[in-house]
């Protein structure tokens, strides 16, 4: 069993932040996912596009040597953050690495797969080999 659920594959019709963000939040809404109600954390840090109401953001560049290269769960450095959440992830290339908390086996979605992880069950990280130019989308959602 994989530590994530594939929600679909998204190929941007154009590399426009507003369009990509709208398309991906519309995909999650159509699937019945609801944005997380809680403290926003790291939404605007380095995001080229973000929507606080939908708890979603897009980054276009990889920050070399940043915290995201370490295994973590979302909210782990934000006091009062709601850890019980789902996280929707998408990457144009070199997708996020994911592993169950009690395992050393690393899983990685395919390029442009939209996936859902349970923040309580898994850890994730940006692959150490990720290139600097890498569009990533993250949306925090209520657990189903």
**Strands across the sheet with 49-51, in order?**
5-9, 113-118, 86-91, 133-141, 56-61, 49-51
Tens digit of pLDDT for each residue in 80-122? 778 899 999 999 999 999 999 999 999 999 999 999 999 999 9
Domain extent for 52: 5-141
- Tell me if 110 sits within 8 A of 95, measured CB to CB: yes
- Tell me if 119 sits within 8 A of 76, measured CB to CB: no
Can you say whether residue 68 is alpha, beta or left, with left for phi > 0 and alpha for psi between -120 and 50 degrees? alpha
Confidence class of residue 138 from pLDDT cuts 50, 70 and 90?
very high
Number of domains in the chain: 1
pTM score: 0.93
Whether pLDDT at 14 is above 80: yes
Domain CATH number, residue 74: 2.60.120
């Amino acid at each position: 069993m994989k530590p994530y659920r594939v929600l679909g594959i998204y190929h941007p019709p154009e590399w426009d932040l507003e369009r990509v963000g709208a398309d991906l939040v519309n995909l999650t809404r159509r699937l019945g996912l609801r944005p997380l109600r809680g403290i926003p954390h790291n939404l605007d840090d380095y995001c080229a596009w973000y929507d606080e109401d939908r708890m979603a953001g897009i980054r276009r560049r990889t920050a070399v040597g940043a915290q995201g290269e370490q295994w973590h769960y979302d909210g782990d450095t934000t006091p009062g953050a709601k850890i019980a959440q789902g996280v929707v992830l998408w990457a144009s290339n070199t997708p996020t690495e994911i592993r169950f908390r009690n395992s050393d086996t690393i899983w990685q979605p395919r390029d442009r797969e939209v996936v859902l992880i349970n923040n309580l069950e898994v850890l994730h990280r940006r692959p150490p080999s990720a290139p600097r130019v890498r569009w990533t989308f993250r949306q925090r959602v209520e657990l189903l």
